[in-house]
Amino acid sequence: MRGRSSARKPHPTPARGRFAGAGAGPVAAVAVAAALAAGLVACTSDDHDQNGDAVPGILPAPASASYPDRDPFRLTSATRIVASGEGALGVAELLADRLRTGTGFDLPIVEGETGEASDVVLAVTSAGAAGDAADDAANAGGRADDAGVLGIGSEAYRLDTGADGARIEADAAAGLFRGTQSLLLLLPADASGTASAAARAEASGAAAPDGYAAPDGYAAPAASVDDRPRFAYRGAMLDVARHFLPVDDVLRYLDAIALLKLNVLHLHLTDDQGWRLQIDAWPELTGVGAATAVGGDGGGFYTKDDYRRIVDHAAARFITIVPEVDLPGHTNAALASIPELNCDGVAPAPYEGIEVGFSSLCASPERAEVTDRFLADVTREVAELTPGPWLHLGGDESLATSPEDYRALLARITAAGAATGKTVIGWHEMGASDALPPGTVGQYWSFVEAEDEAAELTRSFVAQGGRVIFSPADAAYLDMKYVDDPQTDLGRTLGQQWAKGPTTLEEAYAWEPTAIVPGVGEDDVLGVEAPIWTETIRTIEEVEFMAFPRLTAIAELGWSPAPADAEAGRDVEGFLSRVATLGEHWDASGTEYHRVRGVPWRG
């Protein structure tokens, strides 16, 4: 994707399972890590301010946290989850589900405001789930209009753990859920893993769970965390057009990104190679357009019920689904399905390659009626399925149209999107229009060192009252190759390198969203997003392998405060230590990842 795709070589379908490259890189275990693994950590004698503290592994790094020298909280067979306030019971159910298998504990959920020393207390403390709009925007690190746009309430939370219990408070259920993800990272990884305590004991030959589980429970270090996100929009993008992923795979990815406190999953649903969503008004789109994928692999599409299932799973984790219908370019699947959309009325052949820029909707007046009807039907049906506020309409790499035709098509495309009541998002090329609907959001995908044209187009969104999502390809694109070019079990490497790749974990972390495009400052940044394009990627295991650990960098950039010293930059060493903690959790949950060099992986 994005115009610089490398030539693709035929390859066999990869088997599911672990990757040969997953063990690459040195392991630099430390004493504190060993103590964490034993579930018996007592922090050092002094409180530690956040921003680089490597003892507890909360990632993204909290806005404020201290870890006093006091007895830890212990999750035991006596632990209950005590919930109060609007939405708290739903969060409690998700937390209990994450912990019951790994611990073997019942973890009953009860309503109430206080608990015993072994309990986890979850409390929504405001009168309403959405909270006050101005306060909510402040909690989201954004402008006053963010609260209404996001529609998920405040994500701020306070977490306290110690011998007297664990307590999470928030003004809204969204914040409560974010706090539970921090608690999971403070607990030993096996507590929330997919293997039961009995199975771990049997595998180790022990009579009782050992290693992660102390005889008297699972310990989380004493902590006091006061946390809130920097940016309102913190996303991951999944390209299901080049290679289709079944619903359960998308749900698996949602669970993985929820742990990183991301709040958006952008689904790239249409492209030259495939159309992946049922549209009742145009059944040909899935009858023809969904049958193909890159390299002749099997296609597929989501029925409306499939899509609703994805939306519901995301909403329970306070993640907004942003659907993308890429227009006017990247449309070969649509053009192959509906001959009338082509200027000559002849459908092109389905496409299985990886080149870009050759397809476009027709700007001819003779095709205006059918094209506008297509745009209205598609945007309406997608919007009706999507409770979130955004509709992504692409706009990138439309190289088969003249600039004049491109702008004319953009006007019709964005008008159709705005007519649904959604806020339009477009890749930065859409900034070529000087008549974007109010609030249109630009998504920047050029480089950390901005190219002049990309910067100018991005500023156009701000000049027209919109904001910007930053996805610099040389830092945020998760399909760029790793430096050591690890192989799958079948000896096949993944990813591309056109965006100044390969891309290291440190490069994914070492950029600042407000420093890329001059004139686009903190108030103009809606957030950040990490796309993964699937020209070379076929399975959810391969998606995870390419996404983790680099997605952690984008998650922390979006959530954690800006560096106090802009010249010194972020604390890379502290970040890498937090990533190591995530590695334990990925192992316990069966999530694929690449053990990149430089991270002090444990075990």
For residues 281-288, give the mean pLDDT: 98
> What are the tokens at 529?
């997003």
Close Cβ partners of 469 (under 8 Å, ≥ 6 residues apart): 233, 235, 425, 441, 442, 443, 444, 525, 526, 527, 528, 529
Q: Which pLDDT belongs to residue 325?
A: 99
Q: Which pLDDT belongs to residue 569?
A: 86
Task: Give the 3-state secondary structure of residue 496.
Answer: strand
Looking at the chain, the domain(s) classified CATH 3.20.20.80 span: 234-565
d(CA 87, CA 316): 10
d(CA 467, CA 464): 9
Q: Which pLDDT belongs to residue 50?
A: 36
Q: Which pLDDT belongs to residue 488?
A: 66
For residues 191-201, give the mean pLDDT: 81
Q: Which pLDDT belongs to residue 140?
A: 38
396 — pLDDT class (breaks 50, 70, 90): very high
Q: Which pLDDT belongs to residue 205?
A: 65
User: Is 147's pLDDT higher than 90?
Assistant: no
For residues 407-427, give the mean pLDDT: 99
51 — pLDDT class (breaks 50, 70, 90): very low
Q: Which pLDDT belongs to residue 39?
A: 35
Query: Quick one: what percent of the chain has pLDDT higher than 90?
Result: 79
DSSP state of 289: T
Q: Which pLDDT belongs to residue 490?
A: 56
Spatial CA neighbour of 584 closest among 186, 275, 125, 209: 186
For residues 274-291, give the mean pLDDT: 99
Q: Which pLDDT belongs to residue 229?
A: 96
User: Is 544's pLDDT higher than 80?
Assistant: yes
**Helix spans in 330-451 (H):** 332-337, 368-385, 403-419
Q: Which pLDDT belongs to residue 203?
A: 74
Cβ contacts of 498-504, under 8 Å, gap ≥ 24: 498/2, 498/4, 498/5, 498/6, 499/2, 499/4, 499/447, 499/473, 499/474, 500/447, 500/473, 500/474, 501/474, 503/474, 503/475, 503/477, 503/550, 504/596, 504/598
555 — pLDDT class (breaks 50, 70, 90): very high
Q: Which pLDDT belongs to residue 52?
A: 37
Q: Which pLDDT belongs to residue 206?
A: 56
User: Is 149's pLDDT higher than 70?
Assistant: no
End-to-end, the C-alpha distance of the chain in Å comes to 36
Domain 64-227 = CATH 3.40.50.300: no
Spatial CA neighbour of 467 closest among 529, 419, 552, 411: 529
Spatial CA neighbour of 386 closest among 280, 315, 440: 315
Higher pLDDT, 8 or 120: 120
Q: Which pLDDT belongs to residue 489?
A: 66
**What CA–CA distances, in Å, run from 425 to 297, 300, 436, 468?**
30, 25, 10, 9
* Chain mean pLDDT for the chain: 87
User: Is 207's pLDDT higher than 70?
Assistant: no
Backbone angles phi, psi at 174, to 5 degrees: -60, -45
User: Is 41's pLDDT higher than 80?
Assistant: no
Q: Is 52 exposed, middle or buried (0-12, 13-18, 19+ CB in 10 A)?
A: middle
Residues labelled as active-site residues: 397
User: Is 308's pLDDT higher than 60?
Assistant: yes
User: Is 6's pLDDT higher than 50?
Assistant: no
Pick the CATH number of 234-565 from 3.40.1400.10, 3.20.20.80, 3.40.50.300, 3.40.50.740: 3.20.20.80
Looking at the chain, the domain(s) classified CATH 3.30.379.10 span: 64-227
Q: Which pLDDT belongs to residue 564?
A: 86
Q: Which pLDDT belongs to residue 542?
A: 96
Angle, CA 473 vertex, CA 472 and CA 478 arms, to 5°:
115
d(CA 118, CA 79): 5
User: Is 26's pLDDT higher than 70?
Assistant: no
Is-cis flag, bond preceding 283, omega within 30? no
Task: Give the 3-state secondary structure of residue 83.
Answer: strand
Spatial CA neighbour of 231 closest among 508, 467, 549: 467
Question: What's the predicted TM-score (pTM) here?
Answer: 0.89
Which 3-state string (H, E, C) describes 385-402?
HCCCCEEEEECCCCCCCC
For residues 497-524, give the mean pLDDT: 97
Q: Which pLDDT belongs to residue 115?
A: 95
Q: Which pLDDT belongs to residue 126?
A: 73
Spatial CA neighbour of 573 closest among 11, 3, 30: 30
d(CA 361, CA 8): 26
Least reliable range by pLDDT among 28-32, 77-81, 167-171, 541-545 = 28-32
